[in-house]
Amino acid sequence: MAEFVSGDSLVSEVYNIIFHAKKSLLIVSPFIKLDDYFKKEVFNKHKSNSDLQLTVAFGKNEKDPQRSLRAEDFEYFKEFHNVTIIYVPSLHAKYYANESKGVVTSLNLYDYSFKNNIEFGVVTEKKLIDIGGASIHETAGVFTQEMLEDSYTVFVRRPKYKKKLLLGRDYIGSETKLDLTDQLLRGEQLEKRSFSEFMVTEYTNVEEKRELMSREEFEKSSTEIRGTGKLLSGTMLGKTKEKTLAEVRLAMSEYDLVIDNEITPKGLKAGITHKSNDKGATWIVYPESLNELL
């Protein structure tokens, strides 16, 4: 289903897509400026919801990104428990979506635009029954994810959980995994980082559960793989063979080098290690020669 909307109907759709999000909320807008209504009414209920994945993408103004997203609004979004902020220099499109509904529109997430401009858009909804062919909602979502994957992730904050004895989990706090906002706002050149590097759910104090490996399986898995060459992130390693980060992770898992984003003893012997920056963010890097496994 797709529906053309404009004026108050469009504004209402965007407000409701944000307010009623349950699992995911995607904000794609070159320019973002939040007034008190956005902060205290539209977004505020999500700040303490660790189960909601908030992704904010903005763009333009490479020499002065604060003209696109003010430092104070940056700080507001950084307070959310589960949030990713991505910079897309050439972004001009605007798209707002939750897990079931979205709107492709001309409307920036800018308080002035919501109150004064003539804007319009197309509302899309997730199909309840798949009768062949992707819906506009699904197509827009896939295109947007691919665009963001190839952009500059500048801030990531992720929740940590402790598993309960039976079902469920307890939220025990969030941790900043990446923070390049100072470099971005100073107009410095950024290393391109993929947001999908930070999508694994983390648990603490969880006892490892696995079956005893047979001697034959152990000896087979112990066949040494040694990597050489410069260390690359998963995204950059994949690009050497035109593979995605997901394909890199699958290959490393199949060779028992990295499983569930944890480097195995075999992976350590192969030269896989962690890299970190002065902000405390940590990610996995691989010797370039391991692209032979892709």
Q: What is the CATH number of the domain that holds 189?
A: 3.30.870.10
Co-location of 289 and 163 in the same domain: no
Name the residue with tokens 């020669």: 289
**Parallel, antiparallel, or unpaired: how do β-strands 101-105 and 94-98 relate?**
antiparallel
Beta pairing partners, 96:
27, 103
Co-location of 271 and 220 in the same domain: yes
Q: What are phi and psi of 109, to 5 degrees?
A: -80, 70
Co-location of 152 and 275 in the same domain: no
The 3-state secondary structure of 238-262 reads: HHCCCCCHHHHHHHHHHCCCEECCE
Q: Which of 178, 203, 228 is the last residue of a domain?
A: 203
Residue type, 182: D
- Is 234 a domain residue? yes
Number of domains in the chain: 2
- Is 7 a domain residue? yes
- Is 209 a domain residue? no
Co-location of 72 and 45 in the same domain: yes
For residue 279, the model assigns a pLDDT of: 64
**pLDDT in 10s for each residue of the chain, 294 residues:** 689 999 999 999 999 999 999 999 999 999 999 999 999 999 999 998 999 999 999 999 888 888 999 989 999 999 999 999 999 999 999 999 999 999 999 999 998 899 999 999 999 988 765 555 567 888 888 899 899 988 999 999 999 888 776 677 888 888 899 999 888 888 888 888 888 888 767 766 544 455 676 777 666 665 667 788 889 988 889 889 988 887 888 888 888 888 877 888 888 888 999 887 766 667 899 999 999 888
Q: Report in angstroms the alpha-carbon separations of 46 from 23, 80, 114, 250.
A: 10, 7, 21, 32
For residue 206, the model assigns a pLDDT of: 47
- Is 129 a domain residue? yes
Co-location of 278 and 155 in the same domain: no
Co-location of 171 and 259 in the same domain: no
- Is 173 a domain residue? yes
Query: Between vectors from CA 36 to CA 32 and to CA 37, what angle results, nearest 5°?
Result: 90
Q: Which of 203, 234, 259 is the last residue of a domain?
A: 203
- Is 208 a domain residue? no
For residue 205, the model assigns a pLDDT of: 58
Which runs of E-coded beta strand occur in the chain?
A: 2-6, 24-28, 32-33, 53-59, 83-88, 94-98, 101-105, 109-110, 120-125, 152-163, 169-179, 202-203, 231-233, 258-259, 262-263, 273-276, 282-287
Co-location of 105 and 223 in the same domain: no
**Parallel, antiparallel, or unpaired: how do β-strands 109-110 and 32-33 relate?**
parallel
For residue 23, the model assigns a pLDDT of: 93
Sorted by sequence, the CB contacts under 8 Å of residue 161 that are 6+ apart come out as: 50, 169, 170, 171, 172, 201, 202, 203, 204
For residue 138, the model assigns a pLDDT of: 84
19: buried, middle or exposed (CB in 10 Å: 19+, 13-18, 0-12)? Answer: middle
Co-location of 43 and 160 in the same domain: yes
Co-location of 272 and 145 in the same domain: no
- Is 210 a domain residue? no
- Is 233 a domain residue? yes
Co-location of 183 and 234 in the same domain: no
Domain of 223? 215-293
- In angstroms, the CA 119 to CA 110 distance is 12
Co-location of 230 and 162 in the same domain: no
Q: Which of 176, 203, 230 is the last residue of a domain?
A: 203
End-to-end CA distance of the chain: 39
Beta pairing partners, 54:
25, 83
Co-location of 150 and 196 in the same domain: yes
